């Protein structure tokens, strides 16, 4: 590839990234603007006078509790997904299981269903088990949709691992479970991190499950808190953008901390 073409690709890539990041930038700077400056014409791309009143206002509205609720729901859902999806994907990849084809097809079908389709059966089930108005309703709902996705992703990765790894571990005295925990899981860690991050982000952005299964606003996550604030603040966009800015901080932090693992997991298997 010539240098000029490579530079062209780099410039196009930077422009695409900037286009995707501009809404996030606009959201953050709007949170620091005054209400008058937001509607100023022409618009300002940087606040003339940084103000923190919007952040003070939203913390008066129990945003800390919403934040902790989101952390609890997303964290528990991610743990459940990984505990069930990793060994399930390994079993489907390594063992001859009767009906394995229909099981995988069923998992694939679940990814095509909108969340609204499973609301009614889940509501009836959670009501029978007294799980409404608890953290467990949204947790189990997000995990239910996250497990099939993680199984499909991890199964493909496990199928690409050579069986000689387990055979060598067996010769060294490892049991099947021991080779899985000591050999396979460390090798598959980047893909596991990707599935965990996707599951966490999905649960973090959940709105419909939390508002359907929890009528108690003290159990609502940040997304439901933002939804509730729209009617309260009306056109006070700086408060709403401050709410949204707080909600994306954990997502950015997770991506920055796990960036290498996530990128490695996304490209694993594409290059031998």
28 CB neighbour count, 10 Å cutoff: 15
pTM: 0.82
> Residue 180 pLDDT more than 70?
yes
**Cis bond leading into 29, ω under 30°?**
no
pLDDT tens, position by position, 74-106:
999 999 999 999 999 998 888 888 888 888 888
pLDDT tens, position by position, 121-159:
899 999 999 899 998 999 999 998 889 989 988 888 888
Tell me how many degrees the CA angle 90-92-96 measures, rounded to the nearest 5: 120
First to last CA, the chain: 22
pLDDT tens, position by position, 33-66:
887 787 787 888 888 878 888 888 777 777 888 8
How far apart are the C-alpha atoms of 161 and 159, rounded to whole Å?
A: 6
In angstroms and rounded to an integer, the radius of gyration of the C-alpha atoms of the chain is: 23
Which domains are assigned to the chain? 1-51 (no CATH), 61-267 (1.10.3720.10)
Highest-confidence range of 53-67, 71-85, 167-181, 229-243, by mean pLDDT?
Answer: 71-85
Contacts of 48 (CB under 8 A, 6+ apart): 37
Q: Cα 240 to chain center, whole Å? A: 22
Mean model confidence pLDDT for the chain: 83
Distances (CA, A) of 69 to 31, 142, 208, 230, 264: 22, 14, 15, 19, 30
Please give the pLDDT value at position 217: 81
Confidence of residue 265 (pLDDT cuts 50, 70, 90): low
């Amino acid at each position: 590839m010539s240098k000029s073409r490579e530079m062209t690709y780099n410039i196009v890539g930077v422009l695409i990234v900037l286009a995707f990041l501009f809404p996030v930038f606009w959201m953050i700077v709007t949170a620091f603007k005054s209400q008058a400056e937001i509607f100023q014409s022409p618009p300002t791309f940087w606040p003339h006078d940084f103000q923190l009143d919007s952040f003070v206002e939203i913390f008066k509205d129990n945003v800390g509790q919403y934040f902790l609720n989101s952390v609890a729901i997303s964290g528990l859902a991610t743990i459940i997904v990984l505990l069930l999806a990793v060994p399930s994907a390994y079993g489907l990849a390594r063992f001859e299981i009767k009906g394995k084809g229909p099981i995988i097809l069923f998992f694939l079908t679940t990814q095509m269903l909108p969340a609204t389709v499973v609301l009614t059966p889940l509501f009836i089930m959670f009501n029978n088990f007294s799980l409404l108005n608890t953290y467990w309703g949204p947790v189990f709902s997000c995990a239910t949709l996250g497990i099939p996705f993680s199984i499909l992703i991890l199964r493909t990765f496990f199928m690409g691992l050579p069986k000689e790894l387990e055979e060598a571990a067996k010769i060294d005295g490892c049991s099947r479970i021991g080779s899985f925990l000591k050999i396979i899981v460390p090798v598959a860690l980047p893909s596991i991190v990707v599935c965990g991050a996707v599951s966490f982000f999905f649960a973090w952005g959940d709105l419909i499950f939390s508002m359907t299964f929890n009528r108690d606003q003290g159990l609502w996550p940040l997304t439901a808190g933002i939804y509730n604030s729209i009617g309260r603040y009306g056109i006070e966009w700086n408060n709403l953008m401050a709410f949204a800015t707080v909600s994306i901080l954990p997502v950015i932090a997770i991506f920055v901390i796990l960036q290498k693992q996530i990128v490695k997991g996304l490209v694993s298997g594409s290059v031998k």
